[in-house]
Homo-oligomer: A and B are copies of this chain.
Amino acid sequence: MTPNVMPKNQRDNLKNRARMLVSCPDQPGIVAAVSRFLYEHGANIVQSDQYTMDPEGGLFFIRIEFDLENLDDRREQLKADFSVVAEQFQMKWSINRASRKKRLAIFVSKEDHALLELLWQWQAGDLEADIAMVISNHNDMRALVESFDIPYHLIPVTAETKAEAERRQLELVLGKVDAVVLARYMQIITPKFIEHFPNRIINIHHSFLPAFVGGKPYAQAYNRGVKIIGATAHYVTEELDGGPIIEQDVQRVSHRDNVDDLKRIGRHIERTVLARAVAWHVEDRVIVHGNKTVVFS
């Protein structure tokens, strides 16, 4: 695979594109206030999605993509101005530039399919992110990753070295990446690590959660005799396999499929689901609310 790959999507036309995410208690006038604010600042709304959890006193979520001339120079002022509107409506909010791609660290163990799909989509220009590094407890995928000119860090993990391994991982990623992707990384992430990346660690679990929490989900699925298997991408929280679900997908299986067949079929679902979840995350399409997600896909 040639190392000097350049994403096909040149992003030039996106240099003035911004994405605003807002959540706040619902009340009349929010959309009017936000859209008037943007209009008066000369922005053009390109795309807007909104969702009200319950018209009567529930929560309001909105995602707006807008174009603004000279976005780079004006964004700090824009944010300062918007904080006035935000305060009035008790908003949690963010405004991100589309041109400023999120940096990812990908954690893997020995299985390559989830990583390969991310690399392939990144190379094809379909994943709007910078893959800053790959970290693994094994050396198996070094050659593959380095052929993409992406740094590969081997950090072995044993029961004794787990704390030290985590210290080294944090040293590598803190301040260097925006999010961590666990692409079939078969180690538990500690609460200490998680608190540095709240709702910014994406894991792929190889079952249709909440069915088959924990280890060996394909063996569990085989033993239960299910007719459909699935995979789940979710944000990592302290509760094992219990964090907010971003995306799930499934595929039909039959009595003819043994555990190895389920794994093979499942690999395809896992890589597809994880890639979709990561794409939505880096495109600012996901808002976490409690233990659930609002996804403006």
Contact = CB atoms under 8 A, between A and B. Distances in A.
Given A35-B31, A292-B225, A295-B254, A264 B126 contact: yes
B228 A208 contact: yes
Nearest to A227: B248
Task: Identify which of A45, A147, A291 gathers the most chain B CB atoms within 10 Å of its CB.
Answer: A45
Interface string A250-261: 100011100000
**How many protomers of this protein does the assembly include?**
4
Nearest to A249: B228
A272 B225 CA distance: 20
A253 B255 CA distance: 19
Contact of A1 (B1, B211, B250): B1
Nearest to A275: B268
A272 B209 CA distance: 23
21 contacts: A1-B1, A28-B43, A29-B39, A31-B45, A32-B36, A33-B39, A44-B55, A45-B50, A46-B52, A48-B50, A49-B49, A51-B255, A51-B256, A209-B226, A210-B212, A224-B291, A225-B293, A228-B248, A228-B250, A255-B294, A268-B272
Given A147-B147, A209-B226, 4 more contacts: A1-B1, A208-B208, A208-B228, A225-B292
